[in-house]
Chain A
Amino acid sequence: MDKGKMEKLNNYHVLFLIQNVMISMNFIRLPHVIHESGRDMWLIPIAMGVIVQLLLIPMLMLCGRFPNETLFSINRKLVGKYLGTFINLLLILYMVISVTSIVDDFIEVIQTIALGRVNKTLLFIPLLLLTLYILSGGIKTVARTCVLAFFMTVWMIYFLNWTFEPAKFTSVIPLFEVGAKPFFHSLFLGFESMLGFELVLFFFPFIINKKESFKYVTGGVWLTVFIYTLVCLACVVYFSEWQIGNIRYPILSILRAVEFSFIERIESLGLSLWIFLILSTISAYLWVAKRGITDLSSGKSQSWQAYLVVMLVTIIFFLPIDRVTRETLYEWNRYFAFSFILILPTFLLITNLFRGGKPS
């Protein structure tokens, strides 16, 4: 139907793209990562939501000024050809490393929890092949994967029932007992699980209804915040403080509590369903990376670009470096993301205003 048209994403695509790109591996660890904040843990997603909301304003203002261009071409336009290309290369590298870190993390968890005997390579290759298949369909297929991922996994919220049942809700009343410093520290640590919303800078030109897009992007962000808050609440009422500090994957432990007469210990099932969330995130990131290479090379989308980004992920994934270096790489990648989403849109917006650019 919409072959040849640039604008392909409906409103609900935008909402689910934002929402599902944000939820990936980090979510599985979130309550553990922010455990320093103690019983006020469930306030952190809300605080993060507010920050994201604030960050979205310059982003979408910038997008609104260049409605038909991705961040890659905006970069080159506003900061010059060479510096712009350099930033674009960094961005592509960021996308690729993000994907590698997510896949790495996911495969590690799968090996730990469900498939201890299976080789890492055997887990990696089909996942990336499937991503390649999604990439061949373009941004619309990525968006559809996101919608699928949402509806395939959202029913798992029902499993929180088992944690809320024995709970006493008096323990969730915020008392601010840990003080400001741990709170902000865990806010900083936890913010990685909000990453993903920045992709709106890249798929904005593909949105059909650009005027209303802010509403749906916001909707996506707050849907994520809602799910995060719900899970954090469940963790606060279900686990003791010691447990949260020491259980690496609290969500899997929550799933472990679920018991039916015909099935129990469903964390393998939950983790396997997580594939949908992983796929939606990594295919979106890789689509952006592919878009970046398209922008660098000819401006025409070709399939070798998808092969190239997947190749890059594979190379970084199998790079013979030790665990510590790898973790450092991922950490620096995260810091790059933080600085990128904080600085770049605002900087570009100011440059544009300063140069007297008008919204086109």
Chain B
Amino acid sequence: MRSIYEKWMKKTLEVRNQNDIKENQKVDQKRNEKITIEAIENEFRYVSDFIKMEMEVNDERILIFYLESIIDASILQRHLLVPLHRITNDAILEVIPNAESIEWDQLSSLINDVINGNTIILLQNSRKIYKVDTYGPPERAISSSDTETNMLGPKDAFTESLQTNVSLIKRRIKSSKLKTKSSVIGKEARTNVSFMYLEDIANEENINQVEKRLNDIEIDGVLSTSILKQMIEDQPLSLFPVYLSTEKPDVAMSHLLDGRIAIMMDNSPEVIICPTTFVNMFNSTEDYYARWTVANMIRMIRFAGFFITILLTSTYVSVLTFHPEMLPPHLLNLLSQSRSQVPFPPVIEVLGIELVIEVLREAGARMPTKVGSTIGIVGGIVIGTAAVEAGLVSNILIVIVAVSALASFLPSSFEMSSAIRFIRYFFIVSAGFLGMYGQFLVLAWLLIHLTNMTSLGTPYFTPVIPRKWTDYLKDVFRLPYFLLNVRTGASRAKKFLTRPYGDD
């Protein structure tokens, strides 16, 4: 399938590709051109926020270039313009110590610097060029996350600034072993991407793999880590998210301490954690903040919720369509009474209601907050009461669909809950055609698919595919804290124990 598509792409896009390659060569030729004022002005023609300042201090003609929109005006004023007036001859480093010198034949790197928020100082008489980092675009303040909320624990969340995000991690893990490797992704957008790991814990293979995959990306621009994530997946065709995205620094911290890698990107408040396992998508750090008894109960409910949400509505379909003998007479009576008015076969009835729930959810998510709550009430009344009274659906189905819709939101990862909701339709349709046989075929496919998946080379379905038996005590159950002293098998950390055994 994929190879056919690639062949087709190659055939149809070959001519355009050749043109692009020629264009790129033109750009490459520019790399080592001489810097002239005309060349710079030419490059930034029609860039309205490009500022060129001229001033004359002590017989020195100074030209200053910067992009107004991404520099911090107060830095420019305090650390650049004011000191520049004190300049004597060409000793610029005396007044602006953080200025860096640039060679005259590095036009493309100069342009790059301007784009990245540097201010360029060009001394015309003494023929020297300096750059000063004045980057300071407007940023959102650190606030709590809207998508990942918790009762206990820290409330701060990542923002769209890479620097802020790195600092949020660095102030949690104060260690020189916490390494940050950076690169730039996107030929046009040139976005900064960093990945962090603890050098003495994280697995070398994983680090190399992440670095390789990030370097292999060739694209014009990446909007968000959610897209970046899809580019470095092991199985891009899979239904499930293979890496965890989180907005919360404490989640990222817990995974870093476990020996995993966090990838972050400018302009994106989500951090990718890799490798991740299936159960990680269900767990939240709040399980560790809560008492272990409660946490265990919540976890069991979440895992049960997974099976309830994929099997409950489809079982309704298969039982009513093919296996009514499975129900005890009392229950069957109840169901058939509630369905007596309904003109559709069960599968259409269920699909209709499931789609309505999906529409309600999507509408609620897209609507302005003030209208959103109204939609909930309207949907609840119209579907909950009116549809049943009109005899379009049975009221037992409403209960079942509501339970399975609620259960689908139990996983802590939003992407996982979307994936589960999607899979549910496979179950419903196959139950409509093949009853329980169909349901279990899809279940078998689902489980085999999960066991086949890998996240950064580690089996995705990990505690089910055994790595370390202690994974069950940490990922599936949650032992009281004094017993939890291991890292998970999925991260393949260099150090397995978080602290030594015994009394010493």
Contacts from A to B (Cβ < 8 Å): 1, 12, 110, 114-115, 117-118, 122-123, 126-127, 130, 133-134, 137, 141, 144-145, 148, 152, 261-266, 268-269, 271-273, 275-276, 279
Contacts and interface: CB of A to CB of B under 8 A. Distances in A.
Given A1-B457, A264-B328, A275-B444, A141 B433 contact: no
A61 B267 CA distance: 63
A144 B437 contact: no
A118 B325 contact: no
A258 B117 CA distance: 74
A143 B322 CA distance: 32
Nearest to A136: B452
B435 A268 contact: yes
A126 B433 CA distance: 11
Contacts of A144: 448, 451-452, 465
Given A1-B458, A148-B447, A261 B322 contact: no
A114 B437 contact: yes
A110 B437 contact: yes
Contacts of A1: 454, 457-459
Given A1-B457, A261-B328, A126 B434 contact: yes
A6 to B, nearest CB: 18
A145 B452 CA distance: 10
B434 A123 contact: yes
Contact of A275 (B325, B437, B449, B451): B437
A265 B328 CA distance: 9
Contacts of B435: 114-115, 118, 268, 272
A115 B434 contact: yes
A264 B319 CA distance: 12
Contact of A123 (B327, B436, B437, B459): B437
B53 interface: no
A273 B440 CA distance: 6
B432 to A, nearest CB: 11
20 contacts: A1-B454, A1-B459, A114-B436, A114-B437, A117-B322, A118-B433, A122-B434, A126-B441, A127-B441, A141-B448, A144-B465, A148-B447, A263-B326, A268-B323, A268-B325, A268-B436, A271-B436, A272-B437, A273-B440, A279-B444
Interface string B412-455: 00000000000000000010011111111100110111011010
Nearest to A142: B448
Contacts of B451: 141, 144-145, 148
Interface string B372-397: 00000000000000000000000000
A353 B447 CA distance: 45
Interface string B103-137: 00000000000000000000000000000000000
Most buried by A among B437, B439, B451, B454: B437
Given A141-B448, A263-B326, A268-B326, A122 B433 contact: yes
Contacts of A114: 322-323, 435-437
A265 B319 CA distance: 12
Given A114-B437, A126-B434, A268-B436, A276 B328 contact: no
B452 A137 contact: yes
B331 interface: yes
A263 B327 contact: yes
A269 B434 contact: no
Interface residues of B, number: 30
User: Lowest 9 CB-CB distances: which A-B pairs, in order?
Assistant: A272-B436, A272-B440, A268-B323, A144-B451, A275-B440, A265-B325, A272-B437, A137-B452, A264-B328
Contacts of A261: 328
B3 to A, nearest CB: 11
Nearest to B205: A1
Contacts of A137: 448, 452
B278 to A, nearest CB: 14
B322 A115 contact: yes
Given A115-B322, A148-B451, A263 B437 contact: no
Contacts of B325: 265, 268
B315 to A, nearest CB: 9
Contacts of B430: 126
Nearest to B458: A1
Contacts of B326: 263-266, 268-269
A264 B430 CA distance: 23
Contact of B436 (A145, A265, A269): A269
Contacts of B434: 115, 118, 122-123, 126
A275 B444 CA distance: 8
Contacts of B465: 144
Contact of A133 (B327, B440, B445, B457): B445
Given A130-B445, A275-B444, 16 more contacts: A1-B454, A114-B436, A117-B322, A118-B435, A123-B437, A126-B430, A130-B448, A134-B448, A137-B448, A137-B452, A141-B448, A148-B447, A263-B328, A268-B322, A268-B323, A272-B436
A252 to B, nearest CB: 13
Contacts of B323: 114, 268
Nearest to B433: A122
Given A133-B445, A141-B451, A263-B328, A126 B438 contact: yes
A193 B446 CA distance: 28
Nearest to A111: B437
A220 B325 CA distance: 36
B377 to A, nearest CB: 33
Nearest to B492: A1
A275 B434 CA distance: 13
Given A262-B328, A264-B328, A148 B440 contact: no
Contacts of A272: 435-437, 439-440
Given A114-B436, A269-B436, A275 B441 contact: yes
Contacts of B439: 272
A265 B325 CA distance: 7
A268 B324 CA distance: 10
Contacts of A133: 445, 448-449
Given A114-B322, A115-B435, A268-B435, A130 B441 contact: yes
A127 B445 CA distance: 10
Given A126-B434, A126-B438, A263-B326, A145 B454 contact: no
B322 to A, nearest CB: 6
A79 to B, nearest CB: 37
Contacts of A127: 441
Contacts of B454: 1
Nearest to B323: A268
A6 B434 CA distance: 38
